[in-house]
Structure 1
Amino acid sequence: MPDDKHLIETTTASEQLVKGHFLHAVRDTVRLPDGGSATREYILHPGAVCIVPILDDGRLVMERQYRHPIGQVVIEFPAGKVDPGEDRLACAKRELLEETGYVAREWAFAATMHPTMAYSNEFIDIWFARGLTLTERKLDEGEFLEVITATPQELLAWCRDGIVRDSKTLASALWLQNVLAGTWDLAWKP
């Protein structure tokens, strides 16, 4: 690994700006690598998971959901935030069941992404799930979404055509495309 000292900022002070039910905004004062000072405002986020559920026939389980900040219904993979102290795989299993009603026989971790690292510490783990069995979904109170299926080809066309614009779904589609092409491997576990 290279020596990154010439790039690293050091926090010298931190103040809370807003603390809500879900998000927490802070402002840090940092010492820059050249000795100067600057402020950094950002959102603290508990982290999340995204699941790529693959049916036995190769179709993907996806969702259509209204997203208030952009005022649109979007197509995305099932996902949700990690609860305090929750294991990330346990979170993926919980979210898949709650949102879609599916449970999976096998799971594989793909990657961790940081969708908005310029202004948030949020991470999203991408998990693949297969050997799906449909049970009863358990949506959170106030959660409304439609479960749909798509072929990988449909998903990739939606990504290309700008229909899918959700960053976690776009990153997951990249993983899916490479897994299906045989260029990226997954370590499946029960």
Structure 2
Amino acid sequence: MPRKPEILKVTKVAESRLFHVEALDLRFSNGAERRFERLALRGRGAVMVVALDEEMNVQLIREYAAGLHDYVLTLPKGLIDPGEDSLQAANRELQEEVGFGAREMVMLKNLSSAPNYMGHSIDVILARDLYPSKLEGDEPEPLERVPWPLSRLEELILRDDFSEGRAIAALYLARHWLENENC
């Protein structure tokens, strides 16, 4: 395995309420020096929830996505708050965004997005044994809950309004885990 490059200098380039951009001056093991920019890791991480009801319907939400300036179907997700672990955060987000809590929660995998440019990652959580429970969230408008049969995953992935790579990966991870659960 290659040796990590030496960090020569870290410089803050820009900062907003959500993002912290920094430049990294690096020296690689062969002596080459380069400057990389990245969105730096902030906070305690995030969670994405694959919530399945008794009929094996995934609980999707339709929400506004500012990056696309459009409404999209996706999985419930959010930041891990102070004092929470990822399972607690997933259960809270599920209650805020879908109106259900879960009695069973399983950590499936930590996923990164564009790791060459971002230090952010998200924990994918499988939630089952759902029960009605609503918490007040921070969304600017009510979210539409859209139950979708997991058995129709390929049809969902072909929809134009379901395109988030992390959500697609999360659903395949959940399906794989469920297929191998009783092995």
Structure 2 length-normalised TM: 0.89
The residue identity in structure 2 corresponding to 1:42 is: R
Whole-angstrom distance in 2 between the partners of 1:161 and 1:91: 28
Please tell me whether the aligned partners of residues 63 and 73 of structure 2 are also in contact (alpha carbons under 8 angstroms).
Answer: yes
What is the CA-CA distance between 1:84 and the residue it aligns to?
4.2
- The farther-off stretch of 109-118 and 133-142 is 133-142
Q: Can you list the C-alpha shifts for 1:111-142, whole angstroms capped at 9, x where unaligned?
A: 00101212100011000011101122422152
Within a 5 Å distance, the mapping from 1:89-100 to structure 2 comes to 89-100=87-98
Please tell me whether the aligned partners of residues 61 and 148 of structure 1 are also in contact (alpha carbons under 8 angstroms).
Answer: yes
Q: Which residue of 2 aligns with 1:31?
A: 27
Within a 5 Å distance, the mapping from 1:2-13 to structure 2 comes to 3-5=1-3, 8-13=4-9
Whole-angstrom distance in 2 between the partners of 1:24 and 1:38: 20
Structure 1 length-normalised TM: 0.86
Q: Which residue of 2 aligns with 1:60?
A: 58
Matched, 1:132 2:130: yes
| Partner SS, residue 165 of structure 1 | coil
- The number of residue pairs the alignment matches comes to 180
Equivalent in 166, 171, 178 of residue 168 of structure 1: 166
Whole-angstrom distance in 1 between the partners of 2:28 and 2:134: 52
The residue identity in structure 1 corresponding to 2:177 is: V
Please list every run of at least 4 consecutive aligned residues from structure 1 whose deviation after the TM superposition is greater than 6 angstroms.
none
The residue identity in structure 2 corresponding to 1:72 is: D
Whole-angstrom distance in 2 between the partners of 1:23 and 1:41: 13
- The farther-off stretch of 128-137 and 47-56 is 128-137
What is the CA-CA distance between 1:172 and the residue it aligns to?
0.9
- The farther-off stretch of 118-127 and 18-27 is 18-27
Q: Which residue of 1 aligns with 2:177?
A: 179
Q: CA RMSD in A?
A: 1.9
Whole-angstrom distance in 2 between the partners of 1:164 and 1:72: 11
Whole-angstrom distance in 2 between the partners of 1:83 and 1:17: 26
Structure 2 stretches lacking a partner, 5+ long = none
What is the CA-CA distance between 1:85 and the residue it aligns to?
5.0
Please tell me whether the aligned partners of residues 108 and 174 of structure 2 are also in contact (alpha carbons under 8 angstroms).
Answer: no
